[in-house]
Amino acid sequence: MAAWDRGDIGGGHQYFLQAAQKGYAPAQYMAGSDLRHGYGVKKDISLAMPWLLKAAEQGLADAQNDYAKVYFYGEDGIEADPEKAIPWLRRAADQGYLHSQTLLAEAYYNATGVDQDTDKGLVLYTKAAEGGHGFAQYNLGTIYSNGINVPRDDTKAKLWLETAARRNVVEAQLKLAQLYEDKARLNDPVKALTWFLVYAGGEGLEAPTEIATLSQDVSAEQVKEARTDAEGIRAKLPEDWRDVL
């Protein structure tokens, strides 16, 4: 890690590899991650996976999650095989690993590698959301907003969408703005404008057309209020929602 800190990524990999060969699980995980992503070494998923598996077999949740993720989605020539991923996701999820809880919840909702079980999916999304996983919070808010296999609940939807939005999950910012804009739902045009502006401030994102429409529907003072609130929210956003885990 000291080699990494001084910018010697390749040298760091060699130290990770030495410790990995002696059976140290965190080093096996790091060596596998280097090879998977091409950090300080030529990218090679075929060499990465055995190291990730060794660390996973020793109970390292990071490795269990990453090994599973490769098979869940498929990556760099390795075909997707969700059924192979599920046992490793369960192992990591049982250790409280938030990413795995979220991915396993997705699997249960979409019947990916498992039989569909939205009840189990909801439990897992809730655990991950309560643990601070931004995308689980967004998904949970969307579930309650859309009434996906649960009664529609705008209070819970607002709670989880705003929690995710303040963690800089841009999808949650947009969804929350739309929920506030809906006259049959939260019906608060100033807060809707605020969150559309927060969303529009994200890097590479186009300003939604709703900003112009809402700016005409409310007073100039309310537009100023929304812009001030949006600037205050954006000033407190982490660069990435994972930063708050």
Examine residue 122 and state whether it is found in any structural domain, yes or no. no
Examine residue 202 and state whether it is found in any structural domain, yes or no. yes
Examine residue 231 and state whether it is found in any structural domain, yes or no. yes
How many CB atoms lie under 10 A from the CB of residue 59? 12
Mean of the pLDDT values across residues 65-74? 97
What pTM value is reported for the model?
Answer: 0.92
At residue 109, the pLDDT reads: 95
Exposed, middle or buried: residue 147 (CB in 10 Å: 0-12, 13-18, 19+)?
Answer: exposed
| Beta carbons within 8 Å of 142's beta carbon, 6+ residues apart | 148, 157, 161, 175
Examine residue 188 and state whether it is found in any structural domain, yes or no. yes
What digits encode the pLDDT tens for the residues 15-39?
A: 999 999 999 999 999 999 999 999 9
Q: What is the CATH number of the domain that holds 164?
A: 1.25.40
Examine residue 142 and state whether it is found in any structural domain, yes or no. yes
Examine residue 52 and state whether it is found in any structural domain, yes or no. no
Number of folded domains in the chain?
1
pLDDT > 70? residue 59: yes
Examine residue 61 and state whether it is found in any structural domain, yes or no. no
Exposed, middle or buried: residue 92 (CB in 10 Å: 0-12, 13-18, 19+)?
Answer: buried
What digits encode the pLDDT tens for the residues 113-158?
A: 999 999 999 999 999 999 999 999 999 999 999 999 999 999 999 9
Examine residue 35 and state whether it is found in any structural domain, yes or no. no
Q: Which domain holds residue 181?
A: 133-239
